[in-house]
Structure 1
Amino acid sequence: MSRPARPWHRKQTGWWMVEINGKQEKLVEGPKDEKHRLLAEEKFAELRKLHRLAPESVGSRTADIVESFLIHSRIHFAADTHRLNKYYCQLFAEACGQVQAREIKPYHIDRWIDPKVEAEEWGDTTVYNARKAAMRVFSWAAERKILSENPLAGMKNSKPKPRQRAITDAEFAKLYENAGDPLRNILRALYLTGARPKEARDLTWEQVKEDRWVLPEHKTAKKTGKARVIFLNEEMRALMTALRGNGHTHVFLNTEGQPWTMNALRLQVWRIKKKLNLADDVCSYLCRHGFGTRAILAGVDGPTLAELMGHTSQDMISKVYVHLADQHQHLKTAVDRITSSTPSPTASGPIRKRARPVKGKKPGRKPKAKADTQ
């Protein structure tokens, strides 16, 4: 295997040189000493930022591998999957892009992620998705034989605990009161419809009907083969009337008059959460959980709720909404309803500590008759 490109000194001209994409480039003019070698290395690093390398080349950078992977992702993955790949891979390339692909290590991933965690910008789920994206890039490169092996193989990635609760009424009220109108509108929509945040962010006026949203593209479109329908109550229909005519193709717009992005929505909620010292797991997605929780407490059956939430089966209802186990009021109400219809036995006489003895003769031998003494 050929060796990675490195600066070298040409004695005849006195220049430090390097070969990039088969072409020799001048770096620094000067003698063959440590000072000029370091200067040549710095110049080489700057040139690498300007030159794209073929991902299969020996000196390819992490950025080159990421770029090729995203082309593959756009063509072969579902739109939602590619959106996530693009979001995390671009952040990955910005942080580690200049590291040679064959030299990337889990340490580099930690160096990218740890500052985000320390600043409390990223939670467990975001960290998991970021590590997963980096691993996916290099697994793909190894599978396609661009690299001889995956340099991140064996990197640990602890799966986050699922969100096991819904947003409380008090938490939602605090978020809503401290949000500006653009954020209020989309939070209110999530809370009242059970829509996924992405479904609300991407909603266009073409998809808004009189009493419903009709979404041709959605998370389970490939499985169901049909559009997702989200029905609107009276309050939501009034909100749609108020927002109509906003001068944009999208329904929910941010403070700049543009459609919400995933990161913008996340950061807006995060800032309010930190300001009000709300629970760490409070996020926009919990508004959707709140809708599902209220539906169950209101007695909506599993199949109906699965349809309303856009799930393909009832399994997700029991898996996702396990946070109901922490809300005992509906269980207490159910027990009261059951016991209220059960007749209570009426007892008379003094209270007994032991069971009442059973009347009747005990089985066994008959007692001997007593002799007549008279």
Structure 2
Amino acid sequence: MARPAKPFFRKQTQSWYCSLSGKQFSLGKDKQLAFQKFHELMANREEHLQNRFSLYELSQAYLDWCQANRKPATYKLHRHFLKSFIEAVGRRLQASQLKIHQVTKWHEGLGVSSTTQNDAVAIMQRMLNWAVEQSYISRNPITGMKKPKRKRRDVYYTAEQWAQIREHANGSLVDLLDFLYCTGCRPQEARLIESRHIHNDLVIFPSDESKGQNEPRVIYLAPKAKTIIDNQLLKFPEGPLFRNERGVPWTKNAIVLRLRRISEKIGFRVIAYGARHSWATEALMNGGVDPISVALLMGHKDTTMVSRVYSHLAKNPVFLRQQAHRATPTRNHEQISSSAEPPSATDK
């Protein structure tokens, strides 16, 4: 028969302890206070048992799950930020002891943009929510924490600006930028395209390779985009189609560095997502494509993202005036015009 839990004294530390489910709890050096703390501990036994894990232990368990159930890039990103956080707070801090100000101090000290800080806090919250779901802890200690604001990436380029960008780009980077500008696809999607994804005038990523992993991602190739793909297939029949001058597949960092140098030369910010946003802007403003089609072609489920990211259209009075004229039915316009005529002398 197992002995009932009770405090015990350890001579080496001159302190009182107790054990619950194999984990020892320090009760302090004073016997009376130690027994008082022990009874409080037993009264809240379940809560203490759930909150017995350190943040380091939770992070390791979560990363094991993440590695088995998420894409390698997702696992790598989560591991990066969780490792940074554990280094900041230490391996022994328990989840139940975590305070919001500790997370705030950590993400503000990362030396990154507010958007990246937002990602970092989101990963922390996801890990703790997962721990609650798996019954490692009873509650998320940073529930309700406000994340840093994300900076909107609604950068888009006029035809003149795009000509400047292409003029200062060179080599294989031009092919990549032109493809983004012709299709509106995500830069990451372009980097990952291989010959196995090409189906005539379509690029199809199976659901397990698409964003969200819910359904296949289809990129429709207009003639110019199809020509670019055909040329890349001739050069690289196996593996990623878009590569640099050394035949190495483009990485996110390599693209960022090349575009940063172009930005310094032409005097305005150049980012890969700008090509995607420019495609959408041109489709909406000059191509006459409806927002639903634009959203679907870009790989969005609905128009929410298009409406939010391309809100700069609301600041374009010329475009809105054109839309206002298009939105007014001719018959109604004639009726309004006739009813607005001044009354004759007999009517008075």
Q: TM-score range by the shorter chain?
A: 0.5 to 0.7
Are the equivalent residues in 2 in contact too, given 1:207–1:213 (CA < 8 A)? yes
* Alignment of 1:136 onto 2:129: no
Which residue matches 1:305? 294
Report the structure number with the largest CA radius of gyration.
Answer: 1
Tell me: CA distance 1:128–1:253, structure 2 relative to 1, closer, same or farther (3 Å).
same
**Structure 2: how far apart are the matches of 1:126 and 1:312?**
24
* 1:93 CA displacement: 0.7
**Structure 1: how far apart are the matches of 2:250 and 2:60?**
25
Kindly provide the CA deviation profile for residues 248-274 of structure 1, in whole angstroms up to 9, marking residues without a partner as x.
Answer: 511122466443344444454345435
**Structure 2: how far apart are the matches of 1:260 and 1:112?**
32
Q: What amino acid is the match of 1:186?
A: L
* 1:163 CA displacement: 3.9
Tell me: CA distance 1:150–1:257, structure 2 relative to 1, closer, same or farther (3 Å).
farther
Q: What amino acid is the match of 1:307?
A: L
Deviates more, 1:240-249 or 1:292-301: 240-249
Tell me: CA distance 1:303–1:59, structure 2 relative to 1, closer, same or farther (3 Å).
closer
Instruction: Identify which of 208, 217, 226 aligns with 1:237.
Output: 226
Tell me: CA distance 1:252–1:304, structure 2 relative to 1, closer, same or farther (3 Å).
same
Instruction: Identify which of 73, 76, 86 aligns with 2:76.
Output: 86
Which residue matches 1:218? 210
Instruction: Identify which of 313, 321, 328 aligns with 1:332.
Output: 321
Instruction: Identify which of 155, 158, 170 aligns with 1:168.
Output: 158
Structure 2 unmatched runs, 5+: 6-11, 14-21, 23-49
Are the equivalent residues in 1 in contact too, given 2:217–2:299 (CA < 8 A)? yes
TM-score normalised by the chain length of structure 2: 0.65
* 1:72 CA displacement: 1.6
Percent identity over the alignment? 29
Are the equivalent residues in 1 in contact too, given 2:186–2:273 (CA < 8 A)? yes
Q: What amino acid is the match of 1:168?
A: T
TM-score normalised by the chain length of structure 1: 0.62
Instruction: Identify which of 358, 369, 374 aligns with 2:345.
Output: 358
Tell me: CA distance 1:234–1:356, structure 2 relative to 1, closer, same or farther (3 Å).
closer
* 1:337 CA displacement: 7.1
For residues 204-353 of structure 1, what are the structure 2 equivalents within 5 Å? 204-216=194-206, 217-219=209-211, 222=214, 225=215, 227-244=216-233, 245-246=235-236, 248-254=238-244, 257-273=247-263, 276-279=266-269, 282-297=270-285, 298-334=287-323
Are the equivalent residues in 1 in contact too, given 2:53–2:137 (CA < 8 A)? no
Which residue matches 1:367? none
Deviates more, 1:173-182 or 1:323-332: 173-182
Tell me: CA distance 1:108–1:218, structure 2 relative to 1, closer, same or farther (3 Å).
same
Equivalent residues, number: 289
Are the equivalent residues in 2 in contact too, given 1:165–1:324 (CA < 8 A)? no
Are the equivalent residues in 1 in contact too, given 2:63–2:78 (CA < 8 A)? no
Deviates more, 1:157-166 or 1:190-199: 157-166
* 1:205 CA displacement: 1.3
Are the equivalent residues in 1 in contact too, given 2:62–2:127 (CA < 8 A)? yes
Kindly provide the CA deviation profile for residues 311-331 of structure 1, in whole angstroms up to 9, marking residues without a partner as x.
Answer: 333454434432321233323
Are the equivalent residues in 2 in contact too, given 1:89–1:133 (CA < 8 A)? no
Tell me: CA distance 1:324–1:210, structure 2 relative to 1, closer, same or farther (3 Å).
same
Are the equivalent residues in 2 in contact too, given 1:70–1:86 (CA < 8 A)? no
Tell me: CA distance 1:197–1:149, structure 2 relative to 1, closer, same or farther (3 Å).
same
The residue matched to 1:97 in structure 2 has which SS? helix
